[in-house]
Structure 1
């Protein structure tokens, strides 16, 4: 594997000016959009309680990923990261400790967000499936609630990274197994860089696109779709001994309900007139429903 050393004097202006990745939310839940500058300049960085050493910050994770993407895809169009956060952790400066909350000035408040997800689009690498344009997209998730912050620096920190294609019709993320690392545990920034680089260099974009394109060749009649949804709803109530022999299913009733609703109503991915549906549209119904998941479990069901 290539050893990549990134500069330590990173600049806030390190992102190119190609525009922000995707103008629609790639995840909804209770998230809202923020900027790299806000993360870097205005948000606190959590620390390990036992030695007061900082964790790898969300801003550093984003910038590190962006620099690796720029290195690997040099010469391609790379857009500014689209960043979404949730679960704010609010505080105040010591001088304002006795003030009523409604009297706090903005400069007296502190904040960071427990959970963050981002995507970086590379629109110059794209394909079209069934009239849907797919752009190569790289992203990651950092959720501090997955770390043991009551420990010391050097304890494992948890990250999720992925590479795949984003469907520009609906901003669904199309991720494959070789483009997903759901539990990257690292102790320092070098291990994080190595993990990101390894995932991106091992990913086979052409093979992924060919697999996605083949989904159109498989059709489910309505009764098979209904059977699939029924079995999926039953999964949560199966005895543990039966679940042991089945692939894990992370979709809940709310998400499955959205799949059924969009099976009838979605303008792009709904059923055919006879009730049948091909796997490409069914896949997008499931990935679309996953956009309502919280950030820290957003990629589990992919």
Structure 2
């Protein structure tokens, strides 16, 4: 069966007339919001230099994902994509080639963005963890820098795609490895849609929700949390051999500093009166700090936030110790 037949467009139920997937930013660092209209109508599409063939554009990626989501969840409310972009590539029209930049008129400027992230929210599929509403969310990341645009079209292009939940208290994304493909390769839209479909249909929301709920069953004392923060700052300076024996932590110093700050200051996920903090709150401090990641590392770090927190759960369950807590 051809893909176009499999994914026959379905009517989309949209909240209000035009409600975007999140009112607050899901990623902040070095990004700016962009409407789908701007992406489709005001941005150039890069090409392969040697044959002038177009890449799978940002709008192709978003619309392909949206079409798959419409097919799989055709009876659910599906909100419009929320889009963030970074790394603008600017140009100008030929008639403006000799103008100083400050004198360029709007119609003489051209632009596209090298990197893009988007999310599509399905608010009718949701659950609750510790009073926090979690809505099912699908999205992806595209960076043209990962593709060899100086060659001919024909090789694979690279994408990152996820399905997970968004915490509506803070718009933090809850992404884990079973709902994430960090190096999805495709050389046409049909291949891209097939692989997005495979990810979505293989995803088991119940398993992720149980894992997130389980974080509420464990807490760190103030001393344990302080030790975790201190060891996290030491981690990046460990000898390679020692680091390989430990759970991966892909967060940098500035983000660890944010976790430490928000342990005291975050309105929703700060410490308890006795200094203890649940691993659910700890996890959300990490996913909150992850919003300061660049688009390239955003989803990978989101997955690492869960894996790292879950490694602490396993240490507490087994009582065998953990370098980050000892």
TM range (shorter): over 0.9
- SS at 1:301's partner residue? helix
Deviation at 1:5, TM superposition (A): 2.6
2:171 equivalent in structure 1: 171
Once the two structures are superposed, residues 240-291 of structure 1 have per-residue CA deviations (whole angstroms, 9 ceiling, x without a partner) of: 2222223332100000000000001101000011111111000000000000
Q: Secondary structure at the match of 1:183?
A: strand
Instruction: Name the SS of the counterpart of 1:300 in structure 2.
Output: helix
**C-alpha distance in 2, partners of 1:167/1:86?**
24
Are residue 88 (structure 1) and residue 77 (structure 2) matched? no
- Conserved in 1, the CA contact under 8 Å of 2:212 and 2:280? yes
What is the match of residue 290 of structure 2?
Answer: 290
Worse overlay, 226-235 or 36-45: 226-235
**Mapping of 1:263-274 within 5 angstroms?**
263-274=263-274
Kept in 1: contact 2:50–2:150 (CA 8 A): yes
Could you say what secondary structure the match of 1:165 adopts? strand
Q: 1:281 to 1:111 in 2, by over 3 A?
A: same
SS at the partner of 1:99? coil
User: How do residues 25-104 of structure 1 correspond to structure 2 at under 5 angstroms?
Assistant: 25-104=25-104
Structure 1 residues 235-244 or 278-287, which shifts more?
A: 235-244
Corresponding residue for residue 220 of structure 2: 220
1:193 counterpart residue number: 193
Deviation at 1:150, TM superposition (A): 1.3
Separation in structure 2 between the aligned mates of residue 72 and residue 128 of structure 1, nearest angstrom: 23
* 1-structure distance, mates of 2:8, 2:176: 34
User: 2:321 maps to which residue?
Assistant: none
The range that moved more, 285-294 or 185-194, is: 185-194
Structure 2: how far apart are the matches of 1:33 and 1:249?
29
Q: Distance in 2 between matches of 1:44 and 1:133?
A: 38
Whether 2:211 is the aligned partner of 1:211: answer yes
8 Å Cα contact 1:6-1:67 kept in structure 2: no
Other structure's SS at 2:285 match: helix
- Structure with the larger strand share: 1
Paired residue secondary structure (1:113): strand
TM, length-normalised to structure 2: 0.88
Report SS of the residue matched to 1:95. helix
**SS state at 2:86 partner:** strand
SS at 2:191 equivalent: helix
Cross-structure match for 1:144: 144
Moved runs in structure 1, 4+ residues, more than 6 A? 6-10
Partner Cα distance (2:221, 2:8) in 1 = 57
Q: Which runs of 5+ in 2 are unaligned?
A: 303-326
Given that residues 269 and 281 in structure 2 are in contact (C-alpha distance below 8 angstroms), is that contact kept between their aligned partners in structure 1? yes
**RMSD value over aligned CA atoms?**
1.9
CA distance in 2 between partners of 1:171 and 1:4 (Å):
33
Partner of 2:300: 300
Match of 1:236 in 2: 236
Give the structure with the higher percent helix.
Answer: 2
**How many corresponding residue pairs?**
299
Cα distance in 2 for residues equivalent to 1:63 and 1:230: 44
In 2, Cα distance between the equivalents of 1:176 and 1:237? 26
